[in-house]
Amino acid sequence: MLEVKNLHAYYGKSHILHGVHLNVSKGEIVSLLGRNGVGRSTTIKAVMGQVEHTGAVEFNGENLSGLPTYRIARKGLGYVPENRDIFPALTTRQNLLLGMKGTRQSGRWSEEDMFNLFPRLRERAAAPAGVLSGGEQQMLTLCRTLMGDPDLVMIDEPTEGLAPKIVEQMAHLFEEIRNRGVSILLVEQKLTIALRISQRVYVMGHGRIVFEGSPEDLRANESVRKEWLEV
Amino acid sequence: MRAFWGSQLEFFLVTLLNSLSYGLLLFMLSSGLTLIFSMMGVLNFAHASFYMLGAYFAYQTGAYIGFWPALFIAPILVGILGAVTERYGLRTVHKFGHVAELLFTFGLAYVIEEVVHLVWGRAPVDYRVPESLDFTLFTLFTTQYPAYRAFMMLISVGMLISLFLLLTRTRVGMVVQASLTHPDMVEALGHNVPRVFMMVFAGGCALAGLAGVLGGNMFITEPGMAFAVGSIVFVVVVFGGMGSLAGAFVASLIIGTLQTFSVALDFSMLGVLGAIGISVSEDSNWYGLWSITISQTAPVLPYLLMVLMLIVRPRGLMGTRES
């Protein structure tokens, strides 16, 4: 459903992406792995129209290049940024409400679903989102994007800095998301979760895709892991 | 003695009321400026020019259809001009960065002033308080308090409450609040942030226009009014803290009070020294300094306050940004 071809992206004069190809099919969890600074976040931002780029980005056969970000989001693409951009002055519930694209609840997810998945958010529903813990903010960011009922959600480093117990909860949620027919493009640095839940993985290095295959292929391929992933 | 304290109380109460109405008017200007700044990161140098346009539009339309319809129509016209400015001016300039945007608004302020010169001339226009509001509301001791000042306060407070409700109780307000801190994220959730920007800019300009409608006839409607008020509004925004509505509110009232009281106070250090029994001879080197009255320092006080604030607390009273 998402097809990225020959994607080049630039920040000012520096050339960040050198012809990235990738695709995500319906109902798939795909991980985009690699070390910091190889262009994984830039790739998703380019898909969302937040970074200047050339090349083709197609979603359900439609070309997204050149569209403003809000139109891309309305086509059914969800984006959960790495830096947990919650709206600190608004309450947890208001944050969730802003995830919806219209004024009425529609689609796969309701506020009640979110509260059942993360009871902690129900307890903090009336609190300003700025006072939530890092883990709670991460859940909120993800739930907020899901409230907009995306068909594909791109999640940037969701487990970064989280306690192992919350990481487990996250992994559970990713599977729940897929069960409802939503695809996931997961950007990760850690292999544990990614290899367990993904159908396919890409490894990026220096602005290019350097490996593509199943989690088993990557486990078996020590040279790729050594060169591009392990620190 | 009783009469003396009575007149002091009278002076204090009347000046306080005037401070309040002036402070609220300042807030009508600074609230729009602050919202626009927080959201787009652009300090709109032409903001006070929209205030001036409000006054002139009210004068011109009022001449044909009367004050009351003009009270609504003039701010709307100014708001439409604001929307056009954002959509076809700022948005185009945006890709060249903040400096270009700043220069654009700076140039716009001059363009608006020249257009006002061309259309209405350089002299003040005869924009008056409407007859229906030109009466004494009440008499405090010996001071007759004009109904129009009370009307100004009423409209300002009404505007304040509506703005507060709009921002905190409606979905649009929530989108605006969220866009103040994370516009990119709001847009990634599927909200049309460019349109929200345009609406906020238009709304801020309409508020400035409303302030012009109300202030133009209370004070004076002339081509220099934009620059006179503009600099005070910047002081308010810097003093209150860039990007903080609450800060802008408190700062508007403080600066409004400071300006209104200082203009009316005739004290000098000479008088204070005299009261405690020290006399300074006219030959003394410092005589000139001691004899300056507070009212003489009135024009410089707001700027002094701003400089002090920048030294002591650079982000202002309640500011959220460091720069």
CATH number of the domain residue B229 falls in: 1.10.3470
pLDDT at B258: 92
d(CA B49, CA B51): 5
A52 interface with B at CB cutoff 8 Å: no
B179-209: pLDDT as tens digits: 888 899 999 999 999 999 999 999 999 999 9
Chain A residues inside the 8 Å CB shell of B178: 87, 90, 98
Q: Closest partner residue to B181 among A87, A94, A148, by Cβ?
A: A87
Domain presence at residue B317? no
Q: Could you list the residue range(s) of the whole structural domain that residue B198 is in? A: 2-312
Domain presence at residue B130? yes
HEC-encoded secondary structure of chain A: CEEEEEEEEEECCEEEEEEEEEEECCCCEEEEECCCCCCHHHHHHHHCCCCCEEEEEEECCEECCCCCHHHHHHCCEEEECCCCCCCCCCEHHHHHHHHCCCCCCCCCCCHHHHHHHCHHHHHCCCCEHHHCCHHHHHHHHHHHHHCCCCCEEEEECCCCCCCHHHHHHHHHHHHHHHHCCCEEEEEECCHHHHHHHCCEEEEEECCEEEEEECHHHHHHCHHHHHHHHCC
Chain B residues inside the 8 Å CB shell of A109: none
Chain B residue with CA closest to A44: the answer is B188
Q: Closest partner residue to B193 among A70, A85, A94, by Cβ?
A: A70
pLDDT tier at B320 (50, 70, 90 boundaries)? low
Return the higher-pLDDT residue of A190 and B86: B86
Number of structural domains found in chain B: 1
Tell me the mean pLDDT in the region B44-62.
96
Interchain contact, A70 vs B187, CB within 8 Å: yes
- Residue A199 pLDDT more than 70? yes
Q: DSSP state, B44?
A: -
d(CA A125, CA A140): 10
Å from B194 to nearest chain A CA? 9
Q: With CA atoms as reference, report the closest residue to B252 among B36, B15, B19, B27.
A: B27
pLDDT at B158: 94
pLDDT at B321: 55
Q: Which CATH architecture has domain A2-84+153-229?
A: 3-Layer(aba) Sandwich (3.40)
Chain B residues inside the 8 Å CB shell of A73: 187-190
Å from B133 to nearest chain A CA? 41
pLDDT at B42: 84
A103-151: pLDDT as tens digits: 777 788 988 988 988 889 999 999 999 999 988 999 999 999 999 999 9
Q: What is the DSSP track for B237-274?
A: HHHH-TT-HHHHHHHHHHHHHHHHHHHH---BHHHHHH
B194 interface with A at CB cutoff 8 Å: yes
Interface predicted TM-score (ipTM) of this complex, two decimals: 0.91
d(CA B270, CA B279): 8
Domain presence at residue B60? yes
- Residue B269 pLDDT more than 90? no
Prediction pTM value: 0.87
Could you tell me the residue ranges of all domains in chain A?
Answer: 2-84+153-229
d(CA A153, CA A145): 8
Interchain contact, B189 vs A101, CB within 8 Å: yes
Beta pairing partners, A5: A56
pLDDT at B322: 46
Domain presence at residue B291? yes
Domain presence at residue B320? no
User: Counting one residue from A and one from B, how many pairs have CB atoms under 8 Å apart?
Assistant: 58
Å from B221 to nearest chain A CA? 40
